Structures are given as C-alpha cells and as structure tokens.
Amino acid sequence: MGGLLDLDPGVVAKARHLATQAGAPVVALARAHTTVAVERATLRLAGITGADTAHRAGDVPWVNRVIDTVREHCGLEHGVVLPAFHALKEGDFASLTELAEATAAGQVQYRVPTGRAATSAAKAAKTAVAKGIRTIDRNRAQRDKLIAKLGDPPQRPWIYLIVATGDIDEDVVQAGNAARAGADIIAVIRSTGQSLLDYVPEGATHHGFAGTYATQENFRIMRAALDDVSKEVGRYVRLTNYASGLCMPEIAVLGGLQRLDMMLNDSMYGILFRDINPIRTFVDQRFSRQVHARAGIIINTGEDNYLTTADAVDAAHTVTVSQLLNEHFAHEAGLPDSLLGLGHAFEINPDLPDSFRLELAHALLARELFPDAPLKWMPPTKHMTGDVFHGHLLDGFFNLAGVLTGQSILLVGMMTEAVVTPFLADRDLALANVRYVLNAAGSLREDFRPAPDGFIVKRAHQVLGEAVDLLERIVDDGLLTAIADGTFGLMKRPPDGGKGADGVIEKADGYVNPAQLKLEAG
C-alpha cells in the first residue's frame, strides 16, 4: 500500500473484508424493510408538496396526512404508491396534493389494488417518481456546469463554515459574508431537536433554536443566495445541510430537488446520539444514500461525535471501524469514494504529552486508508475551555494538522466554542486563522515525512490493528449487538428501542417502490 505510514495491504484488505461481513446482515435487514420516512420520500419525489394549515395542532405536511391514512386503512407493507395512485385514479384527482386534501376531509378510502388496477397504479407512480428524479439529474448537471464556469476553490482543504441563527434570512446574510471572507462550504445547522420530528416543516422559517429548520423552501432560498455570491467571488460555493434523524430520506430528496452539495449522513449517529431506533436508521440511511448517489451529493459522516463522549485516544480505533462500516454501507448504496466525506476529529486532550503527534497519526491513518475520499476534518470542541486565546491557538494546531495530513474538508474551529453562538467577528477571526495557516504552510505536506519507526507510524499501525480486532468481534457478535453494548461513543442502544421504531414496516411480497427501483438501477 505504501504511503507515509507503510500500511500493510493485507491488514487493510482484512479490515475492509471484515467491515463487509459485519455490515451484510444490516444491509439484508434494510432491504427487507421500509419506513414511513422512505414512503414519504417516495411521494415527495412523485410531486406532493404543501401542508394542511387548518390542523388544530399546527401545520401537518400533506405527505404525512396521506402516509398515515394509508397505513391506517391498508398498511404500508406493499408500499404507499399502489394504494395512493390507485386512489388518485379512482377519485380522478388532478394531483397528489389534491388527493391529500380529500384525504384530510375523510373522502378517500385506501386499499391495495390487485390485477390490472395494481399494474396501472404502479405505472402511474413510476411516471410521477421519474419526474422527480429527472429534476435531481438536472440539478446535478447544473452544479457541474456552474463549477466548470465559476471554478472550484483553488486550494484544499475546502474551508467549511457553519451558520446558525434560526432565521433563514439572517443566515443568508451571514453565509454571504462568510463566503466573501473565504469560506468554500456553508453549512446551515438545523434547529435543535429537528432530527426528532417525524415530519419536515413547510416554508421559510424564522424561529429556529440554535439553528434554522431544514425545509425545502429554506434550501431553495439559501442555494439561490449562494449562487449569487458564487458569481461575485468567482468560485462555486457549496451548501450543506443535515440528512439525518427521523426524516433522513425526505431531507435527502429535498436536498436533491434544491441542489444541495453536501449533507450530513451517518449510518449510526442518529442511533447513538439521538436514540433513534437502529433498524429505522439503517433502513432510512440506505435509501437516503441512494438519493445522494443520484444527486452527486457528498455525504459527511459523524465519527467526530464519538470522541466527544469517549476518550479520543482509547477509542481511536472505533472511529476507524465506523469509517470502514460507513464506507461499506455507502458503496452498497451506490456512493463512490468521491462522494464519501468520512469524518474524524481533533479531540485529544491538549494537556496529554505528544497530543499533536497522536492527532497527526490518527489523521494520517484516515487519509491513507481512504485516499480517494473527501475526508471531513473536525475541529476541537471537547477540550475548549472558554479561554478564547487558548482556543484560537488550539484551532491553529488543528488547521496545521489538516494541512500536514492532506485533509479535504476543514470545518472552521471557533475560539468561542463552549461560550456563545459565534458572532460574525468570531467567524472572521477563525477564517483569518485558517487563511494564515494555509498560506504559511500550504505546501508543507511535501516535506512531512514521519520516521518509519517513529511514534506517528507506530501509533497508526496500533490503531489499525485494534480496529481489525474490534471488527472481528463485531462479525462474531453482530453489529446490532455491538451498538447495544456501547461499542461506539459509549452509547448503548438496543435494536428494539429508540424513537421511530413504530415507523418500521417489514415488506410484503409484492412491495412496490419505483423510486428505490430507479435509484438501485442507477
């Protein structure tokens, strides 16, 4: 395998083979089930939009209204499209949205059609879903066209910066200023708790908490604003949001329909850190990654989060194991390496002797294990003390590690981490820190050669060996058991627990989903 770490290709191949073995039962489980979110995502591809604004408890998206009613009337074991498109034809409705309005009024009785009626419904659904997928295809082509015209950022790593005001209009202002100051990627962090909502809000929003709601309209507004600023700064500025939580498949579809460029999408984050049912998560993430593959959206995985709850040295091998599992699940869903933004983080206690050398070993191991993946390197958070001067220095070391180890996407660290939500001035100072390091040490990687028998190389080999040992145990015991035992991030999540478990449905013979068929066909 070569490289600066001289990794043994046999050990690397064994690690990947074990990850495939560990992931296979989970993939089989995902193939055998659907979820309410997968079915909602399918109807969104077919064109349903809007919400029931007359509902006493608040707006209810029309797609939720249809899915819930179909499930009540005839179940979702055969998928939603057969009963929905059969009802659409029987009632002579002009659109799925009109069907939803009639559903809310109690005017529709759903059933699973058979024979010619089933064939007709499946054909109509296939046609409607194909329109949504064509929109995603056009957006991917438009992205390629804009990148060719405006150009990519001239350097790697790409500079990734978060905005999080709660108000989409204010986010637009902050995002534009960040891009002008050098940010290459703008991530609009979601409102606190949105991942636990089993619906996607409609429309533009101005009332999020520590973030802005992910909605189709908010996606459209921000993408249009970044297109304008891209022309101004002379490079294509990418947009990121979060395809995670209980609506992972739907948000992936909305991201594809509005030309987002990156989406956070991790196979285990929702399980571990949001207590979402494991089976629900694995089913939803497989469909969402199929959408990302079609849309050309780079996913960002969430291994950095493990190191906020577990020790970054003792648990380093769990990050590598998760990266290997994320790689397997991504490839199985059709995502190539070029869209695989595996995550890792600079979270070792800075008071530990040789902490920076350990960070270099871990970062370089990720880089050499996944040479073609756009790795996402995350800044320190766990050991940010509130001392902004110490934090600014630590972020500088983080930036330097990113340069030395060839990271692809660098999330900008904030000196006010753990103090306040960053102000514009904080972001400006953080970007200046990144710009200084990239300018002063941008080509230093050419001269970085860790000693063959030195600390960094030995540590990387140790972590890889521990990862192989853990994968062997996971293959023997099962990935769901490993998750239940607290293997990742010290979080124990049993397969039958967690939020959203009631939204998982085992597929019946004759299950129909034209979106899944189209996405799997490529």
Q: Annotated active-site positions, please?
A: 269, 304, 376
Residue 297 amino acid letter? I
| Three-class SS state of 162 | strand
Cα–Cα distance between 463 and 354 in angstroms, integer? 16
In 3D space, the residue among 306, 355, 366, 319 whose CA is nearest the CA of residue 467 turns out to be 319
**Is 203 exposed, middle or buried (CB count within 10 Å of its CB: 0-12, 13-18, 19+)?**
middle
- DSSP single-letter state for residue 352: S
What DSSP element (H or E) covers 242? strand 238-242
Residue 462 amino acid letter? Q
Structure tokens at 491: 């979080």
Structure tokens at 160: 């990734």
The strand pair at 185-188 and 504-506 is best described as unpaired
| Three-class SS state of 322 | helix
| Three-class SS state of 483 | helix
Q: How many CB atoms lie within 10 A of CB 294?
A: 21
Check residue 211 and give left, alpha or beta (phi > 0: left; psi -120 to 50: alpha). Answer: left
| Three-class SS state of 63 | helix
State the alpha helices, DSSP H only, in 234-277.
248-257, 269-274
Whose tokens are 């077919």? That residue is: 46
Structure tokens at 108: 């529709």
CA distances from 464 to 116, 165, 207, 325, 361 (A): 56, 40, 45, 14, 11
